[in-house]
Structure 1
């Protein structure tokens, strides 16, 4: 049985992992200091990008036999892609990791429990927005009926792993959608990618995204028929299902009468920006070329200049935690900082290792809680040196992870984590009463 699995795995790697991309790696080691898992595991080469690429090639060539330790090396990777900006050879590590996980899924025997979980998640929850909305309504019911208080009081939550208990504590309060109105003479027309989690658990943030853009003279269109971006599918070895979602989104945004497709979640933005690579079609490339992050668009529309005109007393320190994918894939890190630096009433201070992964990485903090917790602990050490009143993030996963960190450290009375849209919105409309 073991020999059969090894043969199947090798053949799957041959079929699905691009040898040419593997050969791009020069083994120079520039990626090592950029890799969080390499550093957190006491510089274990197996948990570095260079080491994992070597393993990919060795499995493909039949030089290393497949076993649990090899699988663990790939599972432990955060997929943060911090190695890519550090690589002088331009190795496409993200693509290689997704191909590897797909190859593993194709060859590895999967138990009934995992099959069911993947079916529910990738064919249901993150494929059908109505199912996602129904799930979030259950969370809203749990929050508003008193069930949440009772569950905590009787110790019901103690039946769950610590990671899930911590996440339950910081779930946002679910709000209802509101209607908005477009400006009479718009300066620009944009389409808004609402996202699955952002349009359900973070509806208020999405609503404020639209209001901010409209206040700056933008007409915002929300195309119907959108699906989850497919990032969780692609990162979990479900590439065909990621392509399915990508095709649905491209169909939803096929109109050409808007200048940009704007999104407000860093992880989604990275995957959306690579639809052209994922599908290799002209339609997909056009979709990706129109994509823009909300912070970039707000700066482009002149928000920083407008905020800088307001002179109000400084009420606290604000710092920023980069979304790995927004920074490493979309190359966006200056614009969020420009917005925070211009926000009236706040002093911006850079957090140590702000570009380092917080440990969220999609659902990594659930699947690999030990390493995720170590990374979060390191992150909170940096937070303590800055002592901010607000930690601003640009991704829902990062936001929840930083909220967990604040809760664990007992800092809820001193600071809070907020999405950049909510921070800027409140800074403008509550501090200065408008732009």
Structure 2
């Protein structure tokens, strides 16, 4: 695979440089300076949180473990990597840069963080992208909105090189999900399932793009459940896992829901949600208003709720009254790439602006119109969340709810099914389904 990445990388770098040239011109800057970042010290401690490289840094090159390093770029010139390789016997020192990308950079190795300043361009003429803890005098963050808006807007459009890395991340994630399902079928605890997932993916928690959600039974109703019970429930009826993997800083984001053999009524509901989810994935095409797809998903899922006997109102009434949002309280999905929730999901154009969410849908993370190269998640769900159901019970719409049916499903928690889908000039590419097809069950 490295040879394929090597072939794709030059075009990717050319695209990044072209976008940067335009962003700098808009902002009136001569140079771009990007910090990899530094580890953050824990409060009242001398240990660090796990290091996470800046997305702007890893957009240029596949180097995700280079704290204290910098990239400097001047239009028309070869980009420079100022690489920190400290003298340190307490930690593993990063190896000297190598691989298919190094020939495209002028590389300077430094031993102390402060040495970087001597190898960077004039800070007063540079758009500096860095967080507040870079600890380099004179190089505080200075990139303006004009620069950031342009870069963030266009980051939604992935290059062939980026898509290749996302396919790798998807394959790793699918491998982990296969192992997690097997662990659930074997009766393991949430922690045991998660450990099997990590083993199959080949990454530790700190290397994953986000904290895994591994919920058995009613824990599936907690949207961001990350507790990891040490003992399995008796019986173990249902399982929701939302977990991804990384590849050179690019993410996959995958969710699956499973039922035990004794939970056939829940399996039937899973099947209906999956059919709906696949119909939404098929609509990921150029020109699609993602916010409209989200609202459409509410109507489809409301019909699923009606068909399975949870509500007695029409789908239109369920959406208009907010009942559908009780069972589906989050957004249909979001952009994905170097960040799990990719930036500029609401941005109107390359010069900024904001596309508001539909009324009554405060948690949607993406309102842009899709175009070729964009990658989005499609993750509808149906949940039985005690807090939201209690609130619904106090409303006039409560009369149109079959509460006995709802109560019978509380023990299952909820359902979410999520794929990562590429918008192309033609039919969508489902990275997740393709990856599961490549991984043996």
Instruction: Tell which structure's C-alpha radius of gyration is larger.
Output: 2
The structure richer in strand per residue is 2
Greater helix share, structure number: 1
Larger relative contact order (CA 8 Å, sep ≥ 6): 2
State the TM-score, normalized to the length of structure 2.
0.29
TM-score by length of 1: 0.30
